[in-house]
């Protein structure tokens, strides 16, 4: 990064790109009933969201490594253009099958938007500044959580569900234009090895694994062939991921450098991140289900009751950005874990007569925990390595987080019982959610103990002088 680059314009562009990637999940979920009604594909409901997540998970580490090889700017532009093309085509879709195909394309680009902005921030700013800016960037996910359902509902009710895809175009173009005009990257051009074998085996293995988890989550025992298909997918995943690890050990430029996991900071942060994101996804998805299915409240009511989580998450992110250089990574993570334990204990002891004000207090504590911990982890990972490995390091952490969410929602989906697909048995749902909240509390305690493995103070590796 040259000195004449406009950091403010670049940062704004990255904030806009991150917001587009963050809001995509919640805004599309809100529009799904209208989409399936018009395109006549209720049986493919989950795939519109799942295929996007699958593509994003697979491409996240790939974009991270390619940005180390070919530069942040080039790979961000490629990812952003693919994302916008997928958005435009999704808005034009005339059938569920076509929409699912274009959502996959959109996800192939989203892998860049969820990873490279954090990497560029790591390149642009010193350690203390980096923590604050990445804290603000992480808070965007909380803001997207608040505005996504509301904006999606307004667009669907007063414009069209297609508008939720078209709205990405002007904002995405602005982000691209700002980055093109302001981000001047000093990059040494030379012939580089591309790990095609690693990309291929990783993509096949991860797709098979995540697809099997999706089928497992949707499995209802109606088809005798389904368990065989799931078993074959897991076998394919094990084979190709095993081949991937062998290839990565020998590759001169591996997609996921295995030496990253020999660094204490990165291995410890990734382990805690995985557990935290298992808890994160279950909390976000199942608390509204408690309000609507057990308490019989409306969707609007549950959305309002979840606002404390969406407010405290960005608050925790901002606090983490300001504190990490002063009190260290371990103290922030331990503090966040204590908040998480308190919130999880509250959920565990909830019943149908629990006052809503207590519920909102518990969600506030969990949101604060996510903001404190996840933001400090992003700063820690991006600061633990030099420029040439920063993209891969940040991508590995984002990949671990998304993998934790994917596995978490699949595993706990097996423990969830609602009675039937047509009607919800409130008593049965309350019992199954109670079991899930007990497990979340146990996992929260594990997160607290795991946080002791983190280094007390962050050891930083600053950018190369030519890129300062």
pLDDT tens digits, 24-79: 766 776 676 678 778 876 556 667 777 887 788 788 888 887 887 888 888 999 99
Please, which pLDDT band fits residue 223 given cuts at 50, 70 and 90? very low
CA distances from 52 to 104, 106, 142, 193, 425 (A): 5, 7, 20, 29, 31
The per-residue pLDDT for 358 is 94
Residue 419 has pLDDT above 70, yes or no: no
462 vs 456, more confident: 456
The reported pTM is 0.73
Cα distance between residue 185 and residue 73, in whole Å: 7
Residue 169 has pLDDT above 80, yes or no: yes
Residue 468 has pLDDT above 80, yes or no: no
Fold that domain 259-461 belongs to in CATH: Growth Hormone; Chain: A; (1.20.1250)
Domain ranges of the chain: 1-182, 196-256, 259-461
Residue 232 has pLDDT above 80, yes or no: yes
DSSP H/E element including 206: helix 196-218
363 vs 220, more confident: 363
Do the domains at 1-182 and 259-461 have one common CATH topology? yes
106 vs 375, more confident: 106
pLDDT tens digits, 125-136: 876 677 778 778
CA distances from 215 to 210, 221, 305, 317 (A): 9, 11, 31, 35
Return the CATH superfamily for domain 1-182: MFS general substrate transporter like domains (1.20.1250.20)
The closest of 395, 396, 378 to 458, measured between CA atoms, is: 378
Neighbours of 169 (CB within 10 A): 15
Please, which pLDDT band fits residue 344 given cuts at 50, 70 and 90? very high
């Amino acid at each position: 990064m040259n000195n004449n680059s406009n950091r403010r314009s670049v940062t704004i562009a990255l904030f806009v790109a991150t917001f587009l990637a963050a809001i995509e999940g919640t805004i599309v979920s809100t529009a799904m009933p209208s989409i399936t009604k018009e395109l006549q594909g209720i049986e493919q409901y989950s795939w519109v969201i799942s295929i996007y997540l699958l593509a994003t998970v697979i491409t996240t580490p790939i974009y991270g490594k390619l940005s180390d090889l070919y530069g942040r700017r080039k790979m961000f532009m490629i990812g952003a253009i693919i994302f916008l093309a997928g958005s435009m085509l999704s808005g034009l879709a005339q059938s569920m099958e076509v929409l699912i195909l274009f959502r996959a394309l959109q996800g192939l680009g989203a892998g860049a938007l969820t990873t490279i902005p954090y990497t560029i921030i790591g390149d642009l700013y010193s350690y203390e500044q980096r923590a604050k800016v990445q804290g603000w960037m992480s808070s965007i996910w909380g803001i997207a959580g608040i505005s996504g359902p509301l904006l999606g509902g307004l667009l669907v009710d007063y414009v069209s569900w297609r508008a939720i895809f078209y709205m990405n175009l002007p904002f995405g173009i602005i982000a691209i234009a700002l980055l093109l005009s302001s981000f001047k990257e000093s990059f040494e051009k030379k012939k580089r090895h591309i790990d095609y074998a690693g990309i291929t085996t990783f993509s096949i293995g991860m797709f098979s694994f995540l697809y099997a988890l999706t089928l497992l989550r949707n499995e209802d025992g109606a088809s005798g062939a389904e368990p065989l298909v799931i078993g074959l997918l897991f076998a394919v995943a094990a084979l190709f991921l095993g081949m991937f690890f062998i290839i990565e050990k020998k590759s001169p430029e591996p997609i996921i450098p295995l030496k990253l996991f020999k660094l204490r900071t990165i291995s410890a942060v990734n382990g805690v991140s995985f557990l935290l994101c298992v808890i994160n996804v279950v909390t976000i998805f199942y608390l509204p289900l408690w309000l609507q299915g057990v308490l019989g409240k409306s969707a609007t009511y549950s959305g309002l009751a979840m606002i404390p989580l969406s407010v405290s998450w960005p608050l925790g992110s901002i606090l983490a950005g300001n504190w990490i250089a002063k009190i260290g990574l371990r103290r922030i993570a331990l503090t966040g874990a204590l908040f998480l334990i308190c919130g999880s204990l509250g959920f565990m002891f909830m019943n149908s007569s629990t006052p809503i004000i207590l519920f909102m207090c518990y969600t506030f504590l969990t949101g604060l925990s996510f903001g404190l911990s996840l933001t400090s982890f992003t700063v820690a990972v991006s600061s633990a390595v030099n420029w040439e490995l920063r993209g891969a390091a940040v991508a590995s952490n984002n990949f671990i987080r998304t993998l934790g969410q994917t596995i978490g929602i699949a595993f706990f989906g097996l423990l969830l019982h609602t009675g039937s697909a047509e009607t919800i048995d409130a008593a049965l749902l309350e019992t199954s959610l109670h079991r899930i909240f007990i497990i979340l509390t146990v996992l929260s305690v594990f997160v607290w103990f795991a946080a002791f493995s983190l280094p007390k103070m962050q050891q930083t590796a600053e950018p190369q002088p030519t890129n300062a």
